Amino acid sequence: MINRKFLAQDILSDEDLNKIHEATMNLLEKTGIEVLHEEAREVFAENGARVEDTRVYLSRDIVEEFLEKAPSSFTLHARNPENNVTIGENNSVVVPGYGAPFVTDIDSGRRDSSFEDYVNFTKLASNSENIDIVGGVLVEPNDVSDELRHAKMLYTGAKYSDKCLMGSALGKKKARDCFKMASMLFGEDEIIDDKALVITLINTTSPLKYDYRMLDSLMEHAKYNQAVVVAALIMAGSTGPMTLAGTLTLQNAEVLAGVILTQMVNPGAPVVYGTASTVMDMKTANLAVGSPQYAKIIGSIAQLARYYDIPSRAGGSITDSLIADAQAGYESMLTFMSSVNHGINFILHSAGLLENYMTMSYEKFIIDDEILSMVTDYQAGIEVNEETIAKEVIENVGHGGHYLADPHTMSHMRDFRDPILSTREAYTSEENLVPAVKRANDKWKNILNDFEAPELDSEIEEKLLNYMEEL
């Protein structure tokens, strides 16, 4: 969890925010949202929304009333309380890549991701000092059956890590399985519903639609006080307007409808305002995530979420590059740094991804971990006091001397972080010329070799395994 000392300059003015808000209110009231879940429509109707057929219309009063109920921050609990995180305030909670159906490394190349990869990336995430949350679809374990996948992912996250966990968005039953298993980690047989143990990604179907499974899961989470991130992935130009202001407006209408539903189900339920919306490259029809347009959307989303006083999600260390090359590096730094500097509270996709969201790379994971660590250090700001200003030291060393042997240097030379991947060697021979991706390759292998899982109570593990047996 990065505690941010400062924010970047705002992207939208107050007037811009008001204009987007006003257009959104109008869309929610007049155009409405397609809600493909009967029970969800009933909840909307019971709380005063106009429902016609499968369409839900929200008046300004309803929007304001229920947005007011959403918490501005909340705590997500880990089985090791030292790893709890607060989602909101001046924090950026850091979460690795999510949902990739492929993995790659420079030895074996791109392939379908498997359960083995899932375990490996869980270990890498567990080992990282910068990552706060594991579980969820860290990579898609394609070789595990659909009925078991959510449970095995949660179990793996819990076994190899004592950090916070993500849950399942695929309907009510799977969501509840995850709550059950997460509660077992806290020694409870019944679902714990007075604090958030999992956080789950709920997506809209743009434009202006929610599908059944996502709504089913969203309502179940709200009911049990478990956290959801409601997010849209609009591709400006195809599933949304070509302009960024238009995409922000459409995305605002979609996400607010989901946020409001959580509060209608259970006032005060933890919810995050999210986006993965970006532009489509209009010549290839592909998503463009490593773009300055996305960096601007990230900043705008942080502002919109603050406007409604709820935590935000956007960004990550993401790129359109197909391999872990210079493009992957500069795009990922742009998107991650924008996410933190603009004040995004929950940064999904922070490590590992290539090819927008399609492929998790072992080497890129390590490269991104370096980015996370660098930005964390940068956001810590500069400590300014008598000791650090060092006026006397400057006087003592005087003109033309040096500071190398000064006691002040000795006592502060370990203040700064050491790079975990970057080189600062000088050139002596060709042997120094090892690219970052090769060093990252050595590094992830070492981490996996040396990995030791945090202890998990054997009785609890037994219970989790038994629970999975019965699924």
Partner 1 sequence: MSKFEEIAEAVISGEVEKVGELAQDLVDEGVKPSEIIKEGLVAGMDVVGARFKANEMFVPEVLISAKSMHAGMDVVKPLLAEGESSSAGTVVIGTVEGDLHDIGKNLVAMMLEGAGFEVVDLGVDLSAEEFVDAVKEHNPEVLGLSALLTTTMPAMQNTIEALEEAGVRDQVKIMVGGAPVTEDFANEIGAYAYASDGSASTELAREFVGA
Q: Which residues bind partner 1 (CB under 8 A)?
A: 101-102, 112, 140, 142, 146, 170, 205, 209, 211, 235, 237-239, 280, 282-285, 358
Q: Which of 333, 256, 361 is nearest to 301 (CA)?
A: 256
- Angle, helices 244-265 vs 60-69, to 10°: value is 70
Three-class SS of residue 412?
helix
Show contacts of 438-441: CB within 8 Å, 24+ apart.
Answer: 438/106, 440/324, 440/362, 440/363, 440/364, 440/365, 440/366, 440/367, 441/105, 441/106, 441/107, 441/362, 441/363
Q: For residue 65, give the 3-state DSSP assignment.
A: helix
Q: Which is nearer to partner 1, 282 or 380 (CB)?
A: 282
Which residue, 206 or 317, has its beta carbon nearer to partner 1? 206
Rounded alpha-carbon distances, angstroms, from residue 274 to 32, 270, 347, 352, 402: 19, 13, 10, 20, 51
Q: How far is the CB of 71 from partner 1 (least distance, A)?
A: 30
Residue 82: half-sphere exposure toward Cβ, Cα within 13 Å: 4
Nearest-approach distance from CB 109 to partner 1, in angstroms: 13
Amino acid type, 11: I
Report angle CA 409, 393, 391 to the nearest 5 degrees: 120
- Cβ of residue 242: shortest distance to partner 1, in angstroms? 9
Tokens of 76: 């997500």
Give how far the C-alpha of residue 427 lies from the chain's centroid of Cα atoms, to the nearest Å: 38
- The residue among 17 and 235 lying less far from partner 1, judged by its C-beta, is 235
Nearer to partner 1, 239 or 338 (CB): 239
As measured in angstroms, the least distance from the Cβ of 148 to partner 1 is 13
Minimum gap (Å) between residue 206 Cβ and partner 1: 9
DSSP letter for each residue of 164-180: EEE---SHHHHHHHHHH
Tokens of 36: 């493909």
What sign has the CA pseudo-torsion 261, 263, 269, 271?
positive
Nearest distance, CB of residue 239 and partner 1, angstroms:
5
Phi-psi region of 293 (alpha: psi -120 to 50; beta: other; left: phi over 0): alpha
Q: How far is the CB of 15 from partner 1 (least distance, A)?
A: 30
Pick the closer one to partner 1 by CB: 258 or 343: 258
> From the CB of 101, what's the least distance to partner 1, in Å?
4
**Locate tokens 């879940």: which residue?**
37
Q: Give the residue with the Cβ less far from partner 1, 183 or 359.
A: 359
Is there a contact between 359 and 100 (Cβ–Cβ < 8 Å)? yes
Q: Smaller CB distance to partner 1: residue 47 or 142? A: 142
User: Whose Cβ is closer to partner 1: residue 282's or residue 326's?
Assistant: 282
Q: Nearer Cβ to partner 1, position 331 or 355?
A: 355
State in angstroms the smallest separation of the CB of 358 from partner 1.
6
Rounded distance between C-alpha atoms, residue 410 and residue 406, angstroms = 7
**CB of 87 closer than 8 Å to CB of 95:** no
Closest contact distance (angstroms) between CB of 238 and partner 1 is 5
**Shortest gap between Cβ of 291 and partner 1 (angstroms)?**
16
203: which strand partners?
A: 231
> Which residue, 131 or 235, is less far from partner 1 as judged by CB?
235
Q: Provide the minimum distance between the beta carbon of 254 and partner 1 in the complex, in angstroms, as a whole number.
A: 14
As a whole number of angstroms, the distance between CA 165 and CA 160 comes to 11
**Cβ-contact 223, 203 below 8 angstroms:** no
Q: How does DSSP assign 1-32, residue by residue?
A: -EE-S--PPPSS-HHHHHHHHHHHHHIIIII-
Nearer to partner 1, 282 or 394 (CB): 282
Which residue in the block uniquely carries the two structure tokens 């109570």? 457
First-to-last alpha carbon distance for the chain, in angstroms, is 34
Choose between 86 and 142: whose C-beta lies nearer to partner 1: 142
